[in-house]
């Protein structure tokens, strides 16, 4: 990749160095299209990811370990890059687990969470030495059985469903009845019943939600998380005499997708974590504190690019019809957790400086009104073959979209 990058950047100056064309990793879109052979594609900017992680690490207290949740973007080259940037991985399937292991990440830094793990998942984690974040009493029984049969000890952490929730979250994953984790009130009994011959209890996982832009909500949840962790650790020591080695305090850091949203005030969260570390010194002594983030690390480093293949006017509304859409980028279409659809930030990628604007609707090639890329958006006047670029697309893009829907051509991904 490095070689072609050098070659491309030098040769490009002679071919298409228009400043109105967007570049990723110094390579203009038209050249990326040649690299990946066709549109649509996702392109991820390596340097932006490195910068984001570095900036976050510089802001957070040094005691906090950063883990990447592979579900946000499992593109193998990106996961490999992440292995060099963060200290651990959260995986949500056996396939993600194998991907994580193959990056060389130490297995004791990989945790496997998610409800509904199969015996096959559990056996694979035990064999690999990956820590299972168990989500139910039934799952503990499965782990016990698998470990017995394999004649191996399973590493586990208890995922706890706390009584509190992460307020103002895009996705709430705790509080009340939830499929995730074991209710905090059940933990004492679970500790009493733990099959300690078969399992090695490493810690607790308290994950409360995702896509949150309100620092005060994350701070409030972290205060509650530390208080709960204190109780859980005391209970554990009383009931099992085990000293845990890590505490996963969740994540939930969001990114702004829409016009009225502001970036998360991470420094306020970092200050609060620093204060919590002081307040809970005895609790955190010798215990690794893990912050588990996905989208915050990668979302803003990725774009989705498709091409205008038809332009039509229907009863006064101008449509740009593209070769990509919902089947590659479900979130942008508004069908992945949004209540009211809003436009992601978009551009005509080869006309960044154009002053001639017009209002258009942008749609994909699928025969469904759900296939929307943008609704009533002001953009430079587009022509056939122009690039429609969707920003903030580095997380929950390709892997979170129904790629086979209507059997459209597949898309490409590239890390530059």
Ligand X SMILES: Cc1ncc(COP(=O)(O)O)c(C=O)c1O
Residues that bind ligand X (CB under 6 A): 69, 72, 90, 113, 173, 207, 210-211, 251, 292-296, 395
CB of 42 to ligand X, least distance (A): 16
Q: Which is nearer to ligand X, 190 or 255 (CB)?
A: 255
Q: Which is nearer to ligand X, 389 or 395 (CB)?
A: 395
Q: Which is nearer to ligand X, 71 or 307 (CB)?
A: 71
Structure-token match 């976050």, residue found: 56
CB of 294 to ligand X, least distance (A): 2
Q: Which is nearer to ligand X, 39 or 210 (CB)?
A: 210
Q: Which is nearer to ligand X, 218 or 283 (CB)?
A: 218
Q: Is 94:109 a contact under the CB 8 Å cutoff? A: no
Residues 6 or more apart in contact with residue 137 via CB below 8 angstroms: 182, 186, 190, 193
With CA atoms as reference, report the closest residue to 131 among 35, 203, 196: 203
Task: Measure the N-to-C terminal CA separation of the chain; round to a whole number of Å.
Answer: 7
Q: Which is nearer to ligand X, 55 or 359 (CB)?
A: 55
Give the alpha-carbon dihedral of 372, 378, 381, 385, to 10 degrees.
-30
Minimal CB distance residue for ligand X:
294
CB of 16 to ligand X, least distance (A): 35
Concatenated DSSP letters of 79-126: HHHHHHHSSEEEESSHHHHHHHHHTT--GGGEEE--S---HHHHHHHH
Q: What is the DSSP letter of 192?
A: H
CB of 395 to ligand X, least distance (A): 6
Q: Kindly list the distances between the CA atom of residue 302 and the CA atoms of 63, 320, 390, in Å, as whole numbers in the listed order.
A: 29, 22, 9
Q: Which is nearer to ligand X, 72 or 301 (CB)?
A: 72
Residues linked to residue 346 through DSSP beta bridges, in sequence order: 390
CB of 68 to ligand X, least distance (A): 9
Specify the length of the chain in residues.
Answer: 416
CB of 133 to ligand X, least distance (A): 8
CB of 304 to ligand X, least distance (A): 17
CB of 170 to ligand X, least distance (A): 7
Q: Which is nearer to ligand X, 215 or 377 (CB)?
A: 215
Q: Which is nearer to ligand X, 250 or 365 (CB)?
A: 250
Q: Residue 353 is encoded by which pair of tokens?
A: 């400086």
Q: Which is nearer to ligand X, 179 or 385 (CB)?
A: 179
Q: Is 350:396 a contact under the CB 8 Å cutoff? A: no
- φ, ψ of residue 77 to 5 degrees: the values are -65, -35
CB of 114 to ligand X, least distance (A): 7
Q: Is 311:388 a contact under the CB 8 Å cutoff? A: no
CB of 179 to ligand X, least distance (A): 11
Q: Which is nearer to ligand X, 146 or 290 (CB)?
A: 290
Cβ-defined contacts of 239-243 (< 8 Å, 24+): 239/188, 239/191, 239/192, 240/191, 240/194, 240/196, 240/201, 242/201, 243/286
Give the alpha-carbon dihedral of 175, 178, 184, 188, to 10 degrees.
170
CB of 347 to ligand X, least distance (A): 24
Q: Residue 97 class from Cβ within 10 Å (0-12 exposed, 13-18 middle, 19+ buried)? A: buried
Q: Kindly list the distances between the CA atom of residue 357 and the CA atoms of 120, 163, 173, 354, 382, in Å, as whole numbers in the listed order.
A: 55, 51, 42, 8, 9
């Amino acid at each position: 990749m490095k070689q072609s990058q050098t070659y491309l950047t030098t040769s490009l100056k002679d071919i298409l160095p228009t400043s109105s064309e967007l570049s990723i990793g110094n390579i203009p879109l038209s050249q990326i299209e040649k690299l990946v052979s066709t549109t649509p594609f996702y392109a991820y900017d390596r340097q932006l990811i490195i910068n984001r992680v570095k900036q976050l690490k510089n802001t957070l207290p040094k005691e906090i370990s950063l883990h990447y949740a592979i579900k946000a973007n499992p593109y193998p080259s990106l996961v490999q890059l992440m292995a060099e940037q963060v200290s651990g991985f959260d995986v949500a399937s056996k396939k993600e687990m194998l991907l994580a292991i193959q990056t060389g990440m130490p297995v004791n830094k990989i945790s496997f969470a998610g409800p509904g793990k199969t015996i096959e998942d559990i056996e694979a984690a035990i064999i690999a030495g990956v820590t299972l974040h168990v989500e139910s009493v039934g799952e503990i029984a499965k782990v016990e059985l698998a470990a017995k049969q394999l004649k191996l000890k399973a590493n586990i952490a208890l995922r706890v469903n706390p009584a509190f929730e992460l307020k103002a979250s895009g996705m709430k994953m705790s509080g009340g009845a939830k499929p995730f984790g074991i209710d905090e009130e059940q933990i004492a009994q679970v500790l009493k019943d733990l099959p300690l011959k078969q399992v090695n209890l490493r810690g607790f996982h308290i994950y409360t939600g995702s896509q949150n832009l309100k620092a005060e909500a994350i701070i409030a949840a972290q205060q509650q998380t530390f208080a709960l962790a204190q109780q859980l650790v005391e209970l554990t020591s009383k009931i099992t005499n085990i000293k845990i080695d890590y505490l996963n305090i969740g994540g939930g850091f969001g990114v702004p997708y829409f016009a009225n949203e502001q970036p998360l005030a991470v420094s306020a969260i970092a200050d609060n974590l620093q204060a919590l570390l002081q307040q809970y010194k005895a609790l955190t002594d010798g215990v690794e504190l893990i912050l588990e983030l996905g989208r915050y690390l990668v979302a803003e480093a990725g774009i989705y690019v498709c091409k205008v293949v038809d332009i039509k006017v229907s009863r006064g509304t101008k449509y740009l019809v593209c070769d990509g859409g919902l089947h590659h980028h479900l979130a942008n279409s508004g069908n992945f957790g949004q209540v009211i659809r809003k436009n992601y930030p978009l551009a005509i990628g080869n006309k960044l400086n154009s002053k001639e604007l017009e209002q258009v609707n942008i749609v994909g090639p699928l025969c469904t009104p759900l296939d929307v890329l943008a609704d009533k958006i002001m953009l430079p006047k587009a022509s056939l073959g122009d690039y429609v670029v969707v920003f903030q697309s580095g997380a929950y893009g390709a892997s979170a979209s129904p790629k086979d829907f209507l059997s459209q051509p597949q898309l490409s991904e590239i890390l530059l």
